[in-house]
């Protein structure tokens, strides 16, 4: 079996981040692991452990479905074999980015995200105003046989003023610099699953 992610994939991601601030990889994980992660997300949804996502942090944190409508649960080591495999793959990616770009990424936080039909997330950036630790955003999609007419694209607002729409097809990984890439999630006609996370560095915030 071929290695996933391959050294070539890791190198491509590092080069893309250096040159344009973002990268798209169509087959980041094996199909089998991608399916396992999708099943894990649906299992958690059925158990009621995916909760409405909030915006902001601290005392300003609040659920506002007019801005974002996904339901999430954070990953922790040891929760499932599939999640542990995923976290191990992302650790190899963290090391590759640090070796290539010297970003000082210290850790990775991630959650499952389920968007019910019609849910969306308005245009935003991933870095908080009072906390600059999130440096690199990572999204892995878990949706088998996604069709273009079903919507649900991730819309990246690129530095050159162009936009790039990414269909949430299973196995697709999108990674971008958190501070400089506004983005949004467009409404979908079917349930939309992903793993969303951030590589973090030591922040200058005292919080």
List of the chain residues with pLDDT < 70: 1-2, 55-66, 129-130, 203-207
Q: What is the pLDDT of residues 151-179, one digit of tens each?
A: 999 999 998 999 999 999 999 999 999 99
pLDDT of the residue at 1: 43
pLDDT at 56: 54
Per-residue pLDDT at 202:
82
Distant-in-sequence, close-in-space partners of 166: CB < 8 Å, separation ≥ 6: 24, 153, 154, 155, 156, 172, 174
Name the token pair of 65. 């479905």
Predicted local distance difference test score (pLDDT) of residue 67: 81
Q: What CATH homologous superfamily does 7-201 map to? A: q2cbj1_9rhob like domain (2.60.120.620)
Residues 16 and 188: their CA atoms lie apart, in Å, by 28
Please provide residue 17's backbone torsions phi and psi, each rounded to the nearest 5 degrees: -60, -40
What is the pLDDT at residue 71? 95
Q: Which two tokens stand for residue 17?
A: 């981040």
CB 32 within 8 A of CB 171: no
Which residue from 166, 155, 159, 161 is spatially nearest to 122, judged by alpha carbons?
Answer: 155
Predicted pLDDT at 68? 87
pLDDT tens digits for range 43-64: 999 999 999 987 555 545 554 5
Amino acid 65: pLDDT: 56
Q: Token pair of 137, please?
A: 């955003």
What was the pLDDT predicted at 106? 97
């Amino acid at each position: 079996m071929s290695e996933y992610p391959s050294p070539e994939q890791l190198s491509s991601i590092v080069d893309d981040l250096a040159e344009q601030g973002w990268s798209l990889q169509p087959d980041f994980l094996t199909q089998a692991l991608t399916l396992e992660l999708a099943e894990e997300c649906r299992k958690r949804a059925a158990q009621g452990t995916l909760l409405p996502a909030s915006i902001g942090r601290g005392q300003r944190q609040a659920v506002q479905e007019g801005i974002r409508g996904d339901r999430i649960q954070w990953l922790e080591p040891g929760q499932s074999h599939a999640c542990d495999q995923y976290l191990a793959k992302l650790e190899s990616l963290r090391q590759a980015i640090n070796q290539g770009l010297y970003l000082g990424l210290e850790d990775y936080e991630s959650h499952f995200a389920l968007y019910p039909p019609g849910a969306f997330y308005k245009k935003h950036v991933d870095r908080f105003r009072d906390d600059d630790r999130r440096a690199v955003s990572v999204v892995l999609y878990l949706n088998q046989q996604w069709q273009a007419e079903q919507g649900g694209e991730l819309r990246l607002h690129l530095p050159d003023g162009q936009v790039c729409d990414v269909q949430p097809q299973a196995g697709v990984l999108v990674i971008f610099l958190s501070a400089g890439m506004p983005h949004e999630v467009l409404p979908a006609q079917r349930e939309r699953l992903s793993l969303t996370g951030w590589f973090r560095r030591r922040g200058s915030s005292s919080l």
